[in-house]
Structure 1
Amino acid sequence: MKEHLEIDGDKRMSYYESAAKRIRNIDPNLYIGISQKKYEEVRTKGEYASDATLIAEYYRRVGVFLQHLSREATGIYVGMDLLIGYRIPDDAWDNFVVDFPNFKDIDLSLIKLLSMHYLRWCALIDERNSFALQFPDIYEPIITLFERGGGRISTHHHELVGGFGGFPKTIYATRGDMNPFDISEGALEKIIEEVKFVEAYLEEYRNGDLTERNCIRCGNRLLIHSHITEYGYPWYKIKCESEHCFNKNFS
């Protein structure tokens, strides 16, 4: 958690106060009206790739928590507080936009709901709840996503969607077996830079420039493999020669 136990003058901020400060600082202009726009009008492919990393790390942390609770799965809408028996008060939704007016004109329900669960979790940390104390930073990836402008997420059928590709709407405990994802500012910006570089390489390739490029992650060659869909549309796989390095599809 970025701001826990921050000193504000002579007063030590509680976890809840620190969380509330973060939620109030989320810029509503990042979200107002974007639900009517195409995904490519809102964020770049690189930004969506960094969003996917944050979501994957959130899923991983929830998976670890599920393993701790001996539960197999949960849904994206379910907060950690609900998993340990707490319930959201009936008036919580209405009170949220009163306490956080920057969310009043944002018509994205999932960002509001997860922010509410985050605040409740931080309140439980202040109350010295044993579960919350063991997993104080479980919401860090998803709140970072919202702060960076990647909170246009919703569900469709069985998937979480938002321009970054599909994640299952259900979060399974097996996610906790994955290695942690680096969600530092530097790592996320590196992802954006990497995709931007590869997009430029692909554009040059399409224009007939067959000069090879090297991966900015490891320095080895990037290989472009072109394909045609059954409907006649081209798509490309750009893959680094190094194993477990850059490997993405582009249309």
Structure 2
Amino acid sequence: MGATLAKGIERLSAISFQMNNSSPQNSHHILISEYLRRVNVFLDKLSLFPDGYPLFSFAKMIGREIDADVYRACPQLDTLHNVYMKAICYSYLEVGELIDQGVDDAIQNADLHEPMLKFFERGGTFTIRKGELEVGDAAYPLMYWRTLVIPVQDISDNSLDLIDCNGLEG
């Protein structure tokens, strides 16, 4: 196991998915927006088209195979019942494994999942229902997420803490 994958497993293992709260913070919306922006940049750069949702296997999108052991490397994910959140975590592990293999597309997109990891670390949870990504009372329609023009969001911990303390959205 390479260093990047090991660090990713350690990071995911530290997230308390069962403790994620149902009342979203303002920072959660910033993180969702930034994730959608990064996914759009990644897909546009490689002229890729996912099936519909911004949740996909990174490895499959770039035509790579991942050893099944990678998906079993973080046992905590076996207890995660939200298949959408699990898909993001597995995709994150794929990026780590591919970085360790020296795959350029993975190296160039090492921070693709960073907004969602911070979202999970900050107690965020979401579901997808009727074509919308739902975070608390907010819904992000997924019918046209690929056409959105989203400005870069500051997702530094200081910025996110300020947003949550002051009740502001970016």
State which structure, 1 or 2, has the greater radius of gyration over its C-alpha atoms: 1
TM-score calculated relative to the size of structure 2: 0.83
| Structure richer in helix, relative to its length | 2
**Alignment match, 1:85:** 63
1:143-182 residue pairs with structure 2 within 5 A?
Answer: 143-150=117-124, 152-163=125-136, 165-169=138-142, 172-175=145-148, 177-182=149-154
1:64-143 residue pairs with structure 2 within 5 A?
Answer: 64-71=41-48, 74-86=52-64, 96=71, 99-143=73-117
| Structure richer in strand, relative to its length | 1
Deviates more, 1:161-170 or 1:178-187: 161-170
Structure 2 residue identity aligned to 1:58: Y
In structure 2, distance between residues paired with 1:101 and 1:71: 31
Residue 26 of structure 1 deviates from its aligned partner by 1.0
Structure 2 residue identity aligned to 1:85: G
Question: In the comparison of the two structures, how many residue pairs are matched?
Answer: 168
Report the secondary structure of 1:166's partner residue: strand
In structure 2, distance between residues paired with 1:170 and 1:76: 11
After superposition, the Cα gap between the structure-2 partners of 1:110 and 1:72, relative to the gap in structure 1 and judged at 3 Å, is closer
Residue 188 of structure 1 deviates from its aligned partner by 1.1
User: 5+ residue gaps in structure 2?
Assistant: none
Does the CA-based 8 Å contact 2:17-2:123 persist in structure 1? no
TM-score calculated relative to the size of structure 1: 0.58
In structure 2, distance between residues paired with 1:170 and 1:118: 24
